[in-house]
């Protein structure tokens, strides 16, 4: 959705960008060089001279004998860190160069400050850190996503790809673009809607959304005195945070997308290996296409994070799609909160609302060029709407995925719900969902000392629960049916020390809701603790007069689940943990660890598809085939070493 309030920053800014020290070298030449001639020679190495050490220096005092000739010391700059390293190696072999070294970064000697992004420091980014009356925008102290506490636990990772389906992105914005330390581009931008337009952002909406979760954090000022922090934006040094995939879903300068293009973007993000795709578009009317795309994305390990919509002042309870599919566990629906920890008046609160996140006057990235609306490109500005609340949750998913790669896509919704800061009426409610996003609490819930286990269990008890007419509006189905409560029992493994939390996951579950009248048939179950070491998973099955069972026969019914809790074993070291490369993979994946054990690979339903012995310090290559030699379908799998429920579980994705 288009932002509803301010779109621009009323500041005149320079377009000059500060150079990162990682791109700069300091060279001392053996003799004083002619600037023009030497600059031409340096260009062949892909570097340019910035200045000499002598530029602007007063002359040396008469009679002094300096050890350093400032005329011979030059500051050089390359286009990226990779080019700088290559140029340094070449110049170190040049007889005319006395010595060469990197232009080293030096921090202030006072107490370390992180992040140092100016608009975070001056408190305008209240969604990350709300100082209340002490901040420039006021509000209630602590009414934010608890970013500082979250960053103490994790700042994101280059291994995590986050996508956005939006109006495009500014491909040159310094907060979003650039290269990763390994030389890969941090940002990939594609145009999925066609229309002959470039994937760049003509309206500014997508660039603003991306900055909230993806702006580089701790990298200081850009464009004079401005700069913002992103929730999953790294540490300001070697970790640039999540990678970004921008999928343009609007044609040309249009401000609307279609369900067809959004579904394509959701599937594209999942098949590219993204852990989350942000969809800040909403509208009336369900779409089977969107719903099925969100389900298939979950199966591939990618969760859709959707804006709740901005109809709060008109008809806030009206379902807005695709966000409403969060009610079926197929995504995460996010509404907007303000600086006072209240639901923003414009924020929709239809069925499936999971939580709120800051969405009023959110300072973020803007295009560095004028957009199609005629608004100047200043690079930064505030925006309001649930469009800008959703990416906070997307960033939280990125932090969780970086911290614990074994998390399934279906785990992010219950994790964010359970860790949210309760607002409004006690407990979950229709206006505020489970509360306001708390990224720090979510990360604490999956600390390294906690184990993560996934599985799927068959139904062990079936109990009649009345009869009625089963009606599914989407298919026009209306038949007499008997309803049955279907229960499966899960025993907590001994490796968990407790307490343990459990929840069902939509993908892998084949029971449905306890209602005869449904808009569509969606997987559903609930978890109920029945003892310190057991859980009951409960769903529903239907039998029509013809004898057919809906959705499946009782003997075929399964409920997929996740268990998370403290484990008795100490956390594995980085060397002992199971590692998978490449991940996602197509032809084959290499699994390695410094410890030995039996390597098992399971699908999302908990079925073992492959097993092999892993020797210490060696690797096993899995070509995507099961024990019988048949190719497994694309999707998410879990590799487990030695049957553990700790850091020796890794989530792997097989691409088509």
Are residues 320 and 274 part of one domain? yes
Q: Are 590 and 619 in contact (CB under 8 A)?
A: yes
Residues 528 and 506 in one domain: yes
- Whether the per-residue pLDDT at 110 is higher than 70: the answer is no
Domain end residue (candidates: 542, 566, 590):
566
Domain span at residue 471?
452-566
Residues 302 and 212 in one domain: yes
In the structure, how many helices (H) and strands (E) does the chain have? 11, 29
Give me 115's structure tokens.
């992040």
Interval 48-55 mean pLDDT = 89
Does 271 fall in a domain? yes
Q: Do 558 and 646 share a domain, yes or no?
A: no
Cα dihedral 580, 582, 585, 590 sign: negative
pLDDT average, residue stretch 486-509: 91
Contact 566, 497 (CB under 8 A): yes
Specify the pTM. 0.79
pLDDT of residue 35: 57
Contact by Cβ (8 Å): 6, 384: yes
462 & 525 share domain: yes
- What per-residue confidence (pLDDT) applies to 13? 27
Burial classification of residue 397, based on how many CB atoms lie within 10 Å of its CB (0-12 exposed, 13-18 middle, 19 or more buried): buried
> What is the arithmetic mean of pLDDT over 93-115?
79
* pLDDT score for 598: 87
**pLDDT recorded at residue 199:** 81
Q: Are residues 530 and 506 in the same domain?
A: yes
Q: Is 166 a catalytic residue?
A: yes
Average pLDDT over residues 586-606: 83
- The reported pLDDT for the residue numbered 108 is 57
For residues 285 and 433, membership in a common domain is answered with: yes
Amino acid 642: pLDDT: 72
According to the model, what pLDDT value does residue 45 have? 85
Least confident of 444-448, 469-473, 595-599: 595-599
Residue 33: the pLDDT is 67
Sign of CA dihedral 14, 242, 292, 359: negative
| Neighbouring residues of 63: CB distance < 8 A, sequence distance ≥ 6 | none
Residue 267, domain CATH: 3.40.50.200
Catalytic choice (166, 296, 338, 603): 166
Q: What pLDDT score does 14 carry?
A: 27
What pLDDT is recorded for position 490? 92
Amino acid 111: pLDDT: 53
Q: Check whether residue 328 and residue 417 sit in a common domain.
A: yes
In percent, the amount of the chain with pLDDT more than 70 equals: 91
Q: Which residue has the higher pLDDT, 146 or 54?
A: 146
Residue 4 lies in a domain: no
Judge whether 141 and 224 are in contact, CB under 8 Å.
no
Mean pLDDT lowest for which of 325-329, 503-507, 559-563, 602-606?
602-606
Q: What is the chain's mean pLDDT, rounded?
A: 88
In a domain, 426, yes or no: yes
pLDDT at residue number 4: 34
What is the mean pLDDT of the segment spanning 531-554? Answer: 94
pLDDT tens readout for residues 182-193: 888 999 999 998
Question: Is the model more confident about 594 or about 176?
Answer: 176
Predicted pLDDT at 138: 95
Cα–Cα distance for residue pair 487/514, rounded to 1 Å? 13
Does residue 387 have an active-site annotation? yes
CA-to-CA dists, residue 610 to 339, 518, 603, 639, angstroms: 51, 38, 10, 9
Tally the domains of the chain: 4
CATH for 613: 2.60.40
Asked if 261 contacts 248 with a C-beta cutoff of 8 angstroms, the reply is no
What confidence tier does 647 reach under pLDDT thresholds 50, 70, 90?
Answer: very low
Separation CA 62–CA 552 (nearest Å): 95
- Same structural domain, 495 and 555: yes
The CA distance from 117 to 124, in Å, is 11
Query: Whole-angstrom Cα distance, residue 555 to residue 298?
Result: 25
For residue 653, pLDDT over 90 is answered with: no
DSSP 179: B
DSSP 630: P
Residues 6+ apart with CB under 8 A from 171: 177, 187, 189, 199, 200
The mean per-residue pLDDT over the stretch 354-359 comes to: 98
Q: Is the dihedral of CA 439, 445, 448, 451 positive or negative?
A: negative
Asked if residue 650 belongs to a domain, the reply is yes
pLDDT of residue 346: 97
Average pLDDT on 522-529 reads: 92
- Active-site entry in 158, 205, 222, 349: 205
354-360 mean pLDDT: 98
Of 178-187, 239-248, 273-282, 337-346, minimum mean pLDDT range: 178-187
Which residue in 115, 15, 117 sits closest to 363, CA to CA?
A: 117
Per-residue H/E/C for 479-535: EEEEEEEEEEEEECCCCECCCCEEEEECCCCCCECCCCEECCCCCCCEEEEEECCEE
Helix (H) or strand (E) holding 328: none
Residues 260, 145 share a domain: yes
Q: Is the pLDDT of residue 18 over 50?
A: no
Helices marked H in 404-466: 412-419, 439-444
Residue 8 located in a structural domain: no
Same domain for 154 and 84? Answer: no
Q: How much is the average pLDDT of 613-632?
A: 86
Specify whether 268 is catalytic. Answer: no
Strands (E), 532-642: 534-544, 549-550, 558-566, 579-581, 589-592, 597-603, 608-614, 619-622, 635-641
| Residue range 298-356, pLDDT digits in tens | 999 999 999 999 999 889 999 999 999 999 999 999 999 999 999 999 999 999 999 99
How high is the pLDDT of residue 323? Answer: 98
Q: Which CATH number does the domain housing residue 91 bear?
A: 3.30.70.330
CA distance 545 to 652: 43
Residue 144 and residue 162 in one domain: yes
| Reported confidence tier of residue 522, pLDDT bands at 50, 70, 90 | very high
Cβ neighbour number for residue 588 with a 10 Å cutoff: 12
Residue 6 belongs to some domain of the structure: no
- Please report, for residues 260, 307, 382, the alpha-carbon distance to residue 310 in angstroms, rounded to integers and kept in the order given: 22, 9, 17
Domain final residue pick, 525, 542, 566: 566
pLDDT on residue 149: 96
Instruction: Give me 43's structure tokens.
Output: 């260009």
- Give the start-end residues of each E strand in 339-460: 355-358, 362-365, 380-383, 450-458
Q: Which DSSP state fits 233? A: -
With b meaning 16 or more CB within 10 Å and e meaning fewer, what string describes 133-152?
A: eebebebbeebbbbbeebbe
- The residues facing 9 across adjacent strands are none
Per-residue confidence (pLDDT) for residue 17, from 0 to 100 = 33
Q: From 420, 447, 474, give the residue that closes a domain.
A: 447
Would residue 475 count as lying in a domain?
yes
What 468-473 contacts at long range (C-beta under 8 Å, 24+ apart), as own/partner pairs, is 468/516, 469/516, 470/516, 470/542, 470/544, 470/550, 471/516, 471/517, 471/518, 472/518, 472/519, 472/520, 472/521, 473/517, 473/518, 473/519, 473/520
Domain assignment present for 340: yes
Of 4-18, 177-191, 472-486, 492-506, the least confident: 4-18
User: Which residue among the candidates 246, 287, 347, 387 is catalytic per the annotation?
Assistant: 387
Q: Quick one: the chain helix, strand, coil %, rounded to 5?
A: 20, 30, 50
Report pLDDT for 7. 31
Contacts of 429 (CB under 8 A, 6+ apart): none
Cis ω before 593 (30° cut-off from 0): no
| 50 CB-near residues (< 8 Å, 6+ apart) | 19, 24, 74, 75, 76, 77
């Amino acid at each position: 959705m288009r932002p509803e309030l301010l779109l621009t920053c009323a500041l005149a800014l320079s377009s000059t960008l500060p150079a990162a020290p990682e791109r700069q070298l300091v060279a001392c030449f053996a003799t004083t060089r002619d600037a023009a001639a030497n600059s031409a020679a340096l260009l062949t190495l892909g570097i340019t001279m910035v200045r000499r050490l002598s530029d602007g220096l007063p002359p040396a005092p008469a009679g002094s004998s300096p050890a350093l000739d400032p005329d011979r010391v030059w500051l050089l700059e390359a286009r990226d860190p990779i080019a700088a390293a290559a140029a340094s190696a070449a110049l170190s072999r040049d007889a005319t160069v006395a010595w060469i070294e990197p232009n080293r970064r030096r921090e202030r000697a006072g107490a370390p400050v992180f992040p140092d992004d100016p608009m975070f420091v001056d408190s305008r980014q209240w969604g990350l850190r709300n100082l209340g009356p002490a901040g420039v925008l006021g509000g209630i102290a602590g009414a934010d996503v608890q970013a500082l506490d979250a960053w103490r636990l994790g700042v994101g990772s280059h291994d995590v790809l986050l996508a956005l389906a939006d109006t495009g992105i500014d491909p040159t914005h310094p907060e979003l673009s650039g290269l990763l330390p390994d030389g890969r581009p941090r940002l990939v931008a594609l145009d999925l809607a066609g229309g002959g337009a470039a994937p760049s952002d003509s309206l500014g909406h997508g660039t603003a959304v991306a900055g909230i979760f993806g702006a580089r954090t701790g990298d200081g000022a850009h464009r004079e005195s401005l700069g913002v922090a992103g929730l999953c934006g790294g540490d300001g040094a070697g970790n640039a945070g999540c990678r970004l995939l921008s999928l343009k879903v609007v044609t040309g300068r249009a401000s609307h997308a279609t369900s067809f293009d959004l579904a394509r973007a959701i599937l594209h993000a999942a098949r590219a290996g993204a852990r989350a795709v942000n969809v800040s578009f909403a509208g009336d009317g369900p779409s089977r296409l969107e719903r099925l795309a969100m389900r298939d994305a979950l199966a591939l390990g990618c969760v859709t994070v959707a804006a709740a919509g901005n109809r709060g002042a008109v008809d806030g309870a009206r379902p807005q799609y695709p966000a409403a599919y969060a009610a079926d566990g197929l995504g995460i629906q996010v509404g907007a909160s303000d600086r006072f920890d209240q639901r923003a008046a414009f924020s929709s609160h239809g069925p499936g609302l999971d939580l709120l996140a800051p969405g009023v006057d959110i300072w973020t990235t803007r295009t560095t060029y004028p957009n199609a609306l005629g608004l100047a490109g200043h690079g930064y500005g505030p925006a309001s709407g649930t469009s800008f609340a959703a990416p906070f949750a997307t960033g939280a998913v990125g932090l969780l995925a970086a911290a614990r790669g074994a998390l399934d896509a279906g785990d992010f919704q219950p994790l964010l719900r359970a860790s949210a800061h309760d607002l409004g009426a006690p407990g979950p409610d229709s206006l505020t969902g489970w509360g306001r996003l708390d990224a720090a609490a979510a990360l604490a819930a999956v600390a390294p000392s906690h184990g993560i286990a996934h599985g799927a269990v068959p139904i062990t008890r079936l109990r009649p629960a009345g009869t009625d007419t089963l009606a599914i509006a989407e298919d026009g189905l209306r038949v007499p049916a008997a309803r049955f409560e279907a229960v499966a029992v899960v025993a907590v493994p001994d490796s968990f020390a407790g307490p343990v939390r459990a929840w069902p996951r939509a993908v892998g579950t084949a029971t449905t809701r306890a209602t005869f009248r449904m808009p569509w048939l969606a997987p559903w179950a609930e978890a109920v603790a029945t003892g310190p070491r057991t859980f009951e998973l409960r769903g529903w099955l239907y039998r029509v007069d013809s004898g057919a069972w809906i959705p499946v026969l009782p003997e075929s019914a399964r409920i997929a689940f996740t268990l998370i809790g403290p484990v008795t074993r100490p956390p594995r070291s980085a060397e002992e943990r199971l590692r998978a490369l490449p991940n996602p993979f197509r032809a084959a994946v290499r699994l390695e660890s410094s410890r030995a054990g039996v390597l098992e690979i399971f699908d999302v339903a908990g079925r073992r598809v492959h097993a092999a012995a892993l020797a210490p310090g060696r690797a096993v290559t899995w070509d995507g085939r099961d024990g019988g030699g048949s190719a497994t379908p694309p999707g998410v799998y879990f590799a487990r070493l030695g049957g553990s429920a700790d850091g020796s579980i890794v989530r792997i994705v097989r691409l088509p």
